[in-house]
Amino acid sequence: MIRLLFTVIVGVLLGGVVHLVSVLALPRISTQDAYSRLTPMTKLNAVTQLPLADPNNSPMPFMDPAFAMAICRYDLSEGPLKLTVPVSQAYTSVSFYTRNEIAYYAINDRSAGKRVIELDLMTEAQHEDLPEDEEITAADRLIIDSPTTTGL
């Protein structure tokens, strides 16, 4: 009886470990991640408007049909990017994701407090190479440090 109980407990623990490892490894080994799906329909370092969400033909899963979306695949190896997004009367948001779909920054129209969301996207090394200008303060421009050179 103890041997059967021990076998069941070991089986449950082993199954839990295998399940946890597979769930955590799946995003890394997946070939149809967001970056790969959007590569054929977007240009590098340019904003591309996505078609409206349709349940039968949607470029990304779980897209909300109430929102208009645009995507920019970026590559910072050539240098930093400057992003300017006009704020509309409706809700406006800008989010940044690494190549592996990890969100690292988001801002919306209410947080920006202006009619235009302006920011500079660069790597930490590019940020350190910026000249320190006394006339340009942190309040004048928003600088986002990307943890990777590519992303969305």
For residue 11, what pLDDT is reported?
Answer: 96
Which residues are CB-neighbours of 94 under 8 A, at least 6 positions away? 83, 85, 106, 107, 108, 117, 119
Token pair for 126 = 């590019």
Going from the C-alpha of 35 to that of each of 12, 55, 83, 84, the distances in angstroms are: 36, 20, 19, 22
pLDDT confidence band for 1 (50 / 70 / 90): confident
* pLDDT tens, position by position, 65-110: 888 888 999 999 988 999 888 888 888 889 999 888 889 999 888 8
pLDDT in tens, 85-96: 888 888 888 999
Domain locations in the chain as residue ranges: 1-30, 31-151
DSSP-derived pairing of the beta strands 47-49 and 70-72: antiparallel
Per-residue pLDDT, 133: 65
For the chain, how far is it from start to end, CA to CA, in angstroms? 56
